Amino acid sequence: MRARHVVLVALYAAFRLSAASSAVYAQDADAWRAPFAAGEEARRSGDAVVYASEMANAAEAMPAGHLNRPFVQYHAARAAALDGQGDNAVRWLRRVWDEDIESLMISFAPFDPAFSAISDSSGFRAVMDLARDLSLTTRFLGGNVHLIVGAGSNVLVKVAADGVLMVDTGFSSALPALQGAIRDLGGGPIRTVIVTHPHEDHMGAAAELGVLADLFAHPGTAAAMAEPYVFMEGLSIPPKANSAMPDFQIAGDTSIVFGGEAIRVMPTVAHTAGDLSVYFTESRVAHLGDAFLPGNPMMYPGTVEPDAFLDRLESFLDAMHPETVVVGGHEEATDLDAVRDQIGVTRDAIRFVRASIEDGLTIEETARSGQDRFAPQWTAFFYQLFKQPRD
């Protein structure tokens, strides 16, 4: 996989540990991690029976409401399909949908060769058809900016007299429901789309929307769109159509005027190679993409030098109104204090890990010595980040 362009999902990316750090899993209090790691090892070795068993165990052990729960459930579904358990595969896909954390993750299944044996079954087709009845919720945030939830990621829309500006698109399968929600808000045609980063739950409908709308994205997103999108090993979808390619590539701090409001767009590359953050200056609403996830204990600057990313993000926040409503890529809207708190914890963890490396501690020793302050998988992630050579 191309590590710079592909991060599986926000939290899982932070848990990609080397074999040398496997002991960290055993000491993690989260019961799902050990069977998940065992399931991944079985998948890599081609053992479908163990893959199915361990991923089912991991999915059952995953805490309710956890952001990564649908990802683990999807693994359980594809593992069951590979093991010839068609009914169980459909059952796991249905649970992804019913629990409504990221229901539209099932949109990857038609592209997944793991499901080829059951793709024509009535049960599989029935689950795939659920998106037709997708229900989205809207929330007014400020000015004429609204949050739309349920399309796979948090989507912001600014409803103006001459049309709509959208931040992120959700999955392609959610577009009809998204267009309906916009009509219910009194919105007209979608004129402008800003993509925060190149993950399918944020850019899935870019090709459809790009036929008529102006698309803005980071050059890293443009590069990723031109390549197959790898969701996980063995599962990819084709490159985006030409209509998805950005009309305007944003590589530096930029202002867009739409509906009489200046909208500031800032590269905040960290989570992927193409992250943008967006601030509606008069409406006092910010969308930080997956660079900020409220449920995370800290941030994931996995593709860049973390101090520079945190400095850049803080400077972006400092220019915002103190009462700005902040939207991450997923979860509930929050405020600037929540973002600054997460930055602070991230800086503390970075300082701790760097000091541990200077003291000659191993990755396991670092995780153990900091476990009262930081989750072991996060200290292990930063340990590897600082120990590996940077390109």
pLDDT at 357: 96
Residue 314's CB is within 10 A of a number of other CB atoms, namely: 14
- Cβ(199)–Cβ(225) below 8 Å: no
Residue 35: partners with Cβ closer than 8 Å, 6 or more residues away: 54, 55, 57, 58, 61
Burial label for 223, CB within 10 Å (0-12, 13-18, 19+), is: middle
Which strands form 261-267's sheet, in the order they lie side by side?
Answer: 254-258, 261-267, 276-280, 285-287, 325-327, 334-335
DSSP secondary structure string for all residues of 83-106: TT-HHHHHHHHHHHHHHTSSGGGG
- Give per-residue pLDDT as tens, 99-150: 988 899 999 999 999 999 999 999 999 999 998 889 999 999 999 999 999 9
| Closest-CA residue to 152 (of 208, 205, 111, 116) | 205
User: What was the pLDDT predicted at 224?
Assistant: 97
Q: Tokens representing 356?
A: 């541990």
Q: What is the reported pLDDT for 144?
A: 96
User: Any residues with CB less than 8 A from the CB of 207 and at least 6 apart, and which?
Assistant: 172, 240, 241, 243, 244
Beta bridge partners of 158: 145, 165
Q: Grade residue 159 by pLDDT with cuts at 50, 70 and 90.
A: very high
pLDDT at 24: 40
Q: Is 166 helix (H, G, I), strand (E, B) or coil?
A: strand
Domains and CATH numbers, the chain: 31-132 (1.25.40), 135-293+306-343 (3.60.15.10)
Among residues 185, 326, 192, 181, which one has the least CA distance to residue 259?
192
List C-alpha distances in Å: 26 to 6, 282, 333: 27, 49, 34
**pLDDT at residue 21 in the model:** 36
Q: What is the bridge-based pairing of β-strands 235-237 and 229-232?
A: antiparallel
Prediction pTM value = 0.89
Please, are residues 54 and 39 in contact by the beta-carbon 8 Å criterion? yes
Query: Residue 261 pLDDT more than 60?
Result: yes
Banded model confidence at residue 268, pLDDT cuts 50, 70, 90: very high
> Does the pLDDT at position 356 exceed 80?
yes
Q: Which residues contact 10 (CB under 8 A, 6 or more apart)?
A: 67, 68, 271, 290, 293, 296, 300, 329, 330
In this prediction, residue 302 carries a pLDDT of 83
DSSP codes joined into one string, 276-319: EEEEETTTTEEE-GGG--TTSSS----SS-HHHHHHHHHHHHHT
